[in-house]
Amino acid sequence: MTDTVGIVIVSHSSDIAKGTADMVRQMVGSEVKVAFCGGNPDGGLGTSVPLIIDAINDAWSPKGVAVLVDLGGAETNSEMAVEMLEPARRDLVVVCNAPIVEGAVMAATEAAGGSSLAQVKAVAEELSAD
């Protein structure tokens, strides 16, 4: 298997994160590494920096990882998680400005074709363009 960009899904809700990951897997099978997390450190609605770090490392690929997030705190916590990665990985992770479900499916489909991290991010973010 050639390396493909990994996908991480970060939602305030673990149900949404898991459901989104299920939809992604249905689209791209096992060609792309997909990891997800949702919920605050107590399991309630929210996001958790350590869980995001774990998810990024689980989905790790030498081609990088694209992170899809839902609302504000998920983005802020994901950006913080990226900064806390080991330096060699930090520059190979992007947080996409895209709707979480559509963005994850589009990003994973693009990744499955062997595209670069920048291409994967661009395709996901086309969804946010007017």
Partner 1 sequence: MSVPSETLKSLVKAAAEQVIASAPELTSLDQAIGDGDHGTNMKRGCEAVLGKLDAISAQPLDEALKMIGKTLVMTVGGASGPLYGSFFLAAGEALSHDKQLPDDLADVFGSAVNAVSARGRSQVGEKTMLDVLVPVLETLKTAAGQPDLIARVRTTATEAVERTAPMQATKGRASFLGARSVGHVDPGARSSCVLVQAVCAGLEARP
Question: Per CB under 8 A, which region of 27-35, 73-81, 90-98, 122-130 contacts partner 1?
Answer: 73-81
Query: Per-residue b/e over 45-65, b at no fewer than 16 CB within 10 Å?
Result: ebbbbebbbebbeebbbebbb
Smaller CB separation from partner 1, 9 or 28? 9
x/- track of binding to partner 1 for residues 82-121 (CB under 8 A):
--x-------------------------------------
The side-by-side arrangement of strands in the sheet containing 93-96 is 34-38, 6-11, 65-69, 93-96
x/- track of binding to partner 1 for residues 29-58 (CB under 8 A):
-----------xxx-xxxxxxx--------
Question: Per CB under 8 A, which region of 23-31, 77-85, 87-95, 103-111 contacts partner 1?
Answer: 77-85
3-state secondary structure of 94: strand
User: Quick check: 62 binds partner 1 (CB under 8 A)?
Assistant: no
Q: 33, 18, 20: which is closest to 111 by C-alpha?
A: 33
Q: How many residues bind partner 1 (CB under 8 A)?
A: 18
Active site residue 25: no
Burial of 106 (0-12, 13-18, 19+ CB in 10 A): buried
Catalytic residues: 12
